[in-house]
Structure 1
Amino acid sequence: MSKIEEYRSELVRIQDITILDTVDLVERANNCDKETKVGRGDAFWLYKSANQTLAIAARIEQLLEARNKTQPITTTEDEEKQKEAEAQKLLLSVKKELTKRKGKTKQDGKEA
């Protein structure tokens, strides 16, 4: 296995870890007590961390795609803002799905 292939497989592994960490952070933020100031603060920082880890996964994806196309990565500020907005949108959709799932388990009387 060449060095490039090793680096590529390591990047894919790191990307998988960041995606799993994002889901974990969103779940933890969703479980915070939003009725208290501390709980809301904790949730905010957890969501912010989840957004950053998701941004890392997106950057790795860009790097892998660029490497496959053998083109340098060039992003403008507008493209970066667009990618961040897409990541935020994805994060919110994950948050809504987790909230929906949590609501279903509460209705069933079961704990997640």
Structure 2
Amino acid sequence: EKQKSKLNSVLEVSPTLAKMHALKEQFRQIFETTKSWGDSITQLLDWMYDARSYFPKSLGTMVRWFGEIVGYFDGRTTSGTVEGINNKLKLIKRLGYGFRNFSNFRLRSLLNWHFSISSP
């Protein structure tokens, strides 16, 4: 309740920020509630038109990746898990600078996700 109160007071002071916040919530709602692929794309395009003056850089990115973004509506899946795994592996690689061989890197990676470790 305290955070909602703070948010409301900020939104009252800045109409631009209030509009940006409303657009953000509308964007989230498109991805959470729409069921039909066609309706999703229509709503997303309408949102992009409304948001063009508030989020110009974000819209440029969305235009470049529109096919991939719209792909979410086919099966409601993302590549977030794979991206997270790749990010974790890069971190392990950076932290393991100086590993003498690949099997040490492999061991460290498998231990991170609690996989059983067997000899190669």
TM-score per shorter chain, which class?
Answer: 0.3 to 0.5
Higher helix share: 1
TM-score of the superposed pair, with normalisation by structure 1: 0.34
